[in-house]
Amino acid sequence: MRITIAGAGAMGSRFGLMLHKGGNEVTLVDGWLEHVTAIKEHGLQANFNGEEITAHLSVELQSNISSEEKTDLIILFTKAMQLDKMLQDIKPLIAEHTKVLCLLNGIGHEDIIEKYVSKNNIFIGNTMWTAGLEGPGKAKLFGNGSVELQNFIPGEEETAKKLANILSASGLNANYSDNIHYSIYRKACVNGTMNGLCTILDTNMAGLGATKPAHDMVVTIVKEFAAVAKHEEVNLDIDEVVEHVETCFDPETIGLHYPSMYQDLINNNRLTEIDYINGAVSRKGKKYQIATPYCDFLTQLVHSKEELLKAK
Ligand code: NAD
Ligand code: AOT
């Protein structure tokens, strides 16, 4: 299967590497020149569960995509604010049969994807895998994860199940979901609590979980997400979601992970996805006349920190 990873940073590298090891013909596409050059020259290097490995993957700069290279499956793994430009740049890869799977964190990416891809070819989901980059061409990958995905419109269930099987055959532990909007909101609650709070408090998930106010903050934020989701006919089970979020505190599993927002702002001085997570809930709250004070405040705090650090 010809698979293109559109956005080959930390997560794109993980998925690209695992799908390549699983025997697929994988091409990484990215806009970061130093990263693309490093992979071209030395292969994708990774510390993969403690072992140093190198994978010689095909890689292209997104501004160099030509119209002859149609692909079977595109997995989108940009940061949310890079998604529209990526889709514009990879238009030549999209044939009539090309499936597009979006696994970004955050809510509402389908509004952008629909501008470039016919609805029957769009698949949406989320992932509990994690990843980090140590520098251009070098990924750090540890722990376990899973993927949930579904067809965007009815009628493509069998294809969605096949896609899940393709990912699972490479160890990505993917499952078809019959209620992906629930699953996306449930994962957004993980990011809506961990990402902003760890970034502001300068800690990893285990560190946040070890503080006394963590539980109350998690409950309050999850309730805000749930109130907004309810307006979209997604009825989150608040207690279950809080429990799910709090499993991430465990230092024996993924508690030592610094969320991608922390990696962006604190490690790399980059702008964050806050507007697509807590900021999205704040905007929806205003539209639906639901108060979301913790999401509003956390969004403002992260934006202030972006300004103070002159993030780009
Ligand atoms: P990433 O920032 O590592 O990669 C996204 C893009 O940014 C790539 O094009 C990459 O090349 C570029 N980039 C990365 N570091 C850069 C740097 N220092 N300078 C210039 N460009 C750079 O993003 P990611 O962490 O792989 O996340 C992709 C999506 O997956 C996001 O929506 C994220 O929220 C989500 N996600 C991330 C994780 C995680 O553990 N990292 C887990 C689950 C979901
Ligand atoms: C994460 N992390 O989603 C993944 O870093 O943005 C991120 C992210 C799975 C479980 C817990 C946190």
pLDDT digits (tens, 9 = 90+) for 251-298: 998 899 899 999 999 999 999 999 999 999 999 999 999 999 999 999
Check whether residue 173 and residue 264 sit in a common domain.
no
279 CB within 6 A, ligand 1 = no
Known active-site residue 187:
yes
Predicted confidence at residue 68, as pLDDT, reads 75
- Of 135, 152, 178, the domain-final residue: 178
CATH code of the domain covering residue 40? 3.40.50.720
How far apart (Å, rounded) are the C-alpha atoms in residues 275 and 110? 16
How far apart (Å, rounded) are the C-alpha atoms in residues 125 and 186? 11
Check whether residue 191 and residue 151 sit in a common domain.
no
CA of 34, nearest ligand number: 1
How far apart (Å, rounded) are the C-alpha atoms in residues 243 and 68? 48
Angle at 134 between CA 147 and CA 76, to 5 degrees: 35
Predicted confidence at residue 143, as pLDDT, reads 87
CA of 259 to the centre of ligand 2 (A): 6
Q: Which domain holds residue 99?
A: 2-178
Closest ligand 1 atom, residue 133 Cα: 3
Q: Whose CA is nearest to atom 4 of ligand 2?
A: 128
209 CB within 6 A, ligand 1 = no
Strand partners, 3: 26, 73
Check whether residue 10 and residue 126 sit in a common domain.
yes
- The total number of structural domains in the chain stands at 2
CA of 40 to the centre of ligand 2 (A): 28
11 CB within 6 A, ligand 1 = yes
Distances (CA, A) of 95 to 30, 68, 99, 116, 159: 19, 10, 9, 11, 16
Q: Whose CA is nearest to atom 22 of ligand 1?
A: 32
**pLDDT < 50 stretches in the chain:** none
Check whether residue 104 and residue 77 sit in a common domain.
yes
Check whether residue 213 and residue 87 sit in a common domain.
no
- Of 121, 146, 178, the domain-final residue: 178
Predicted confidence at residue 149, as pLDDT, reads 98
Check whether residue 156 and residue 81 sit in a common domain.
yes
Predicted confidence at residue 113, as pLDDT, reads 98
Check whether residue 81 and residue 26 sit in a common domain.
yes
Check whether residue 9 and residue 88 sit in a common domain.
yes
How far apart (Å, rounded) are the C-alpha atoms in residues 222 and 155? 32
263, two tokens = 């990696």
Burial call 226-237: b when 16+ CB within 10 Å, e when fewer: bbbbeeeebebe
The region, left, alpha or beta by phi > 0 then psi within -120 to 50, assigned to residue 142 is: beta
CA of 97 to the centre of ligand 2 (A): 31
Where is 97: in which H helix or E strand?
none
| pLDDT tens-digit series, residues 112-122 | 999 999 999 99
Pocket of ligand 2 (CB under 6 A): 105, 128, 130, 190-191, 194-195, 248, 254, 257, 259-260
268 CB within 6 A, ligand 1 = yes
> Would you give the DSSP letter of residue 267?
I
First CA to last CA distance, the chain? 36
Check whether residue 20 and residue 145 sit in a common domain.
yes
77 CB within 6 A, ligand 1 = yes
177, two tokens = 């979901």
Check whether residue 123 and residue 216 sit in a common domain.
no
| pLDDT tens-digit series, residues 52-79 | 999 999 999 999 998 777 899 999 999 9
3-state SS, residue 86: helix
Closest ligand 2 atom, residue 128 Cα: 9
The count of other CB atoms within 10 Å of the CB of residue 140 is: 16
Q: Per the residue annotation, which of 99, 187, 284, 305 is the catalytic one? A: 187
Check whether residue 171 and residue 222 sit in a common domain.
no
- Of 144, 178, 212, the domain-final residue: 178
How far apart (Å, rounded) are the C-alpha atoms in residues 262 and 178? 32
